[in-house]
Amino acid sequence: MLPSSVARTSVAAASARTVVPSARRGVANYTVTAKSTYITKATEKDPYDYQSGFGNRFASEAIPGTLPNAQNSPQKLKYDLYAEGMTGTSFVAPRAESKTAWLYRLRPSVAHQGFTPLPDNPDLEHNFSTLNPRVHVSPTQLAWHPFELPSASTPVDFVGGLKTLCGSGDPTLREGVAYHVYAANTSMENSAFCNNDGHMLILPQQGRLDIQTEFGRLMVRPGELVVIQRGMRFKVVLPDGPSRGYISELFGSSYELPELGPLGTHGLANARDFESPVASFDVDQSGWEITYKVAGRLFLCKQEHTPFDVVAWHGKSVFYHLTSLFPARLPPSSLLTTMLPPSYVPYKYALEKFTNVGSISKDHIDPSIFCVLTAKSKTPHHALTELLIFSPRWDVASATFRPPVRLSPLPSTPHHRLCLLHTGKLTVMPQYYHRNSATEFMGLIYGEYGGRSDGFQPGSASYETGFCPHGVSYDEFKKATEGELKPRRIHEGTMAFMLESSLMLPLTDFAMKRSGKLHEHEPKMWDNLKAQFLNHLDEVNADLRAAGMPEVTLKEKDSA
């Protein structure tokens, strides 16, 4: 055993290819054969390699030959590693839904010193029953100015900076969702976090997140999402200083790609653009602290070794093929994948890679067409939550209600989706009047998005409960019904997102009382939406008479 004072060492997986010379009829030829599956390479802003795909069965080894061949738990592993199984679903889940992983590590997770309760974070909520006095309901539109970063004099890491805005359900029921924000100014040092309650979809808005997981490392910038699945331990370092962002925590089911239906085989978020880490392990036997979140409560676990010591890992059955009676030896590369049910691994996705789809003739497609990921509820065809994005695209529908480009100042309006401000030009987002059954939570990652006299800025958020009316002011309605329709680019330089849920999402004490950023709806913006129909009564009554129908008569106002 290495002494506790040993210097920390990190080792990550690598890959290679070979060039084999051959000869045919006196002509020199070369055959190039891949030694691994395709992986994305490190860049200046992202120093890590990734495996590509969504729903794959991945395998990765940081030291060649450490993955066992044709079995998961052999009697003895190379280098005396420990095998540790991890399941994200029940043992008997259908193959298409089963999520498991096997990790081969220096020391098993069970080597720890027990758990002790931590003080509750008053801004972190898990119980969204209306019987809970810490949650509230609101029928109106709400919005929040950008949430504050911690002061430089108060160190706050990722875990300490979690704050819940709204949610539904309860993690103990394995059904529900919670939407949080985080604000941190301190990296996690010799500490990690494990969320037993749900899968965390994280959207950084300011500052990159350098995330170390048991499966490897991910660098996540604003404009990317990362999903850390339930039960995975991870650590967050802030390479750019203070960081802020949004989180969707899913208590039930898991995030999936939406079905494409008549779109065919490609479009929206393509599976090949998702990235998962390669194996990377540390040799570190110093003291570590791991914070566990269980039913919203926090517990501390101490251990004398790093949790990030996984030398190799894989998803169940990755080695078996139709010819598995003669199991082939793993190639000396670090990676191997087959398209089978999904592994239980973290992953990230660059939202700029999203392929937008919309009408190229008339009318609007429902905003579900901008769905990146969805999560099923127990009610068929009703999502627990969906992530939609609004990114640069063309708007070309003819003979269609499309609020026009506008150069006037921002209106005093509560609805941040009314307009987009970019390089001095303001374009109104195409939007008809509507009342949706879904609850909508929206945020802005980068760019400038109008919506109030003070604008909707990066780091802001807004909320609308189900059936809350949406729509533009009368001035915008008038321009949209009378203006010239031309093809135009919208959302240039902007990345906004919406988290949509079929559930009612009560709001927390932090959202309604303590954030200091709440600003409510001003309904006077719609005062000019008069019944213009009444200006056409003569024409209306003429048409009614021609059809043999009774005329419209106006009821006189009560003078009292």
- Numbered residues of the known binding site: 434, 440, 449, 470
In angstroms, rounded to a whole number, what is the distance separating the alpha carbons of residues 83 and 172? 29
**Which residues make beta-bridge pairs with 421?**
426, 448
250-270 as b/e: b if 16+ CB within 10 A: bbbbbbebbeeeeeeeeebbb
DSSP 379: S
- Is the Cα dihedral 276, 278, 279, 284 positive or negative? negative
In angstroms, rounded to a whole number, what is the distance separating the alpha carbons of residues 308 and 105? 8
Neighbours of 154 (CB within 10 A): 9
In angstroms, rounded to a whole number, what is the distance separating the alpha carbons of residues 548 and 260? 49
Task: Give the residue carrying structure tokens 């000869």.
Answer: 23
Nearest to 36 by CA among 260, 242, 329, 333: 333
Contact 446, 494 (CB under 8 A): yes
Q: Do the bridges between strand 507-508 and strand 135-136 make them parallel or antiparallel, or are there none, so unpaired?
A: antiparallel
Number of H helices, E strands in the chain: 3, 39
In angstroms, rounded to a whole number, what is the distance separating the alpha carbons of residues 319 and 315? 9
Cα Rg of the chain, angstroms? 27
In angstroms, rounded to a whole number, what is the distance separating the alpha carbons of residues 305 and 328? 35
Q: How far is CA 34 from CA 17, 58, 65, 168, 235, in A?
A: 5, 17, 18, 48, 33
Contact 180, 246 (CB under 8 A): yes
What's CA 295's distance to the chain center, in Å?
21
211 φ/ψ angles, rounded to the nearest 5 degrees: -105, 120
Contact 433, 529 (CB under 8 A): no
Annotated binding site for Fe cation: 434, 440, 470
**Which residues make beta-bridge pairs with 102?**
85, 314
Type of residue numbered 336: L
Whether 364 is catalytic? yes
Catalytic, out of 145, 364, 382, 416: 364
Nearest to 512 by CA among 560, 458, 463: 463
Nearest to 376 by CA among 227, 94, 176: 176
Residue numbers annotated as active site: 364
